[in-house]
Amino acid sequence: MHKKTFLIHTYLFLIASSLGAQQSFDQMVNKLLSHSVKEIKTEDVSSFKKSVLLDAREQSEYNVSHLKNARYVGYKKFDTNCLVGLEKTDTIVVYCSVGYRSEKIAEKLEKMGYKNVYNLRGGIFDWSNKGYSLYNALGPTSKVHPYDNNWGKWVTKAYKSYE
């Protein structure tokens, strides 16, 4: 096989593999979520100019990285103190690793009377896999907490850190 033909086949294989991985991730997320709240795609978050971002992961996950200006709310110990100053009509985007925990927190917010609540479909894993910026207390970072080894397989573009 010629070198050029080999390179083309390798390139096509890599594209097909990455599309398959993304499709598998999307399929997993679709099956995992109950779709009980409005969802927003990663690429559409920037269209909400004045949205409030809420991180529904554990503190150790948030400390590794989060979306810029996101407020930590937790999941097991949902902290409603982070809602101080929010109006019931404010646009709120809740996220976690892939969208399951944030969906549950979004449901709670709706029950509390918040009207414009969205779940970030695919969570911070999709966010980082699509190359969007991550932050920690020191500023920009390329790390994301993979939750555990089983879930971490879905993190493909960021450095996995359990710090």
Q: Please, what's the b/e burial string for 62-78 (b: 16 or more CB within 10 A of its CB; e: otherwise)?
A: bebbbbeebbbbbbeeb
The bridge status of strand 91-95 relative to strand 116-120 is parallel
In 32-160, DSSP assigns E strands to: 38-40, 52-55, 71-72, 91-95, 116-120, 134-136, 139-141, 143-144, 159-160
> Within a 10 A sphere around the Cβ of 108, how many other Cβ atoms?
16
Active site residues: 96
Contacts of 98 (CB under 8 A, 6+ apart): 28, 29, 32, 122, 123, 125, 126, 151, 154
Residue 12: predicted pLDDT: 37
Residues 27 and 47 in one domain: no
**Whole domain around residue 146: which residue ranges?**
35-160
What's the domain count of the chain? 2
Contacts of 13 (CB under 8 A, 6+ apart): none
Residues 59 and 75 in one domain: yes
Q: Which residue has the tokens 């010629």?
A: 2
Residues 20 and 56 in one domain: no
| Backbone angles phi and psi of 53, in degrees to 5 | -100, 130
Residues 42 and 4 in one domain: no
Residues 43 and 98 in one domain: yes
Residues 10 and 65 in one domain: no
Residue 46: predicted pLDDT: 86
Residue 16: predicted pLDDT: 40
Residue 2: predicted pLDDT: 53
Residues 10 and 77 in one domain: no
Residues 27 and 48 in one domain: no
For residue 129, what is the domain's CATH number? Answer: 3.40.250.10
Residues 40 and 93 in one domain: yes
Residues 66 and 77 in one domain: yes
| Whole-prediction pTM | 0.84
Per-residue pLDDT of the chain (163 residues; tens, 9 = 90+): 555 544 444 443 334 444 445 669 999 999 999 999 999 999 999 888 789 999 999 999 999 999 999 999 999 999 999 999 999 999 999 999 999 999 999 999 999 999 999 999 999 999 999 999 999 999 999 999 999 999 999 999 888 998 7
pLDDT tens, position by position, 81-128 = 999 999 999 999 999 999 999 999 999 999 999 999 999 999 999 999
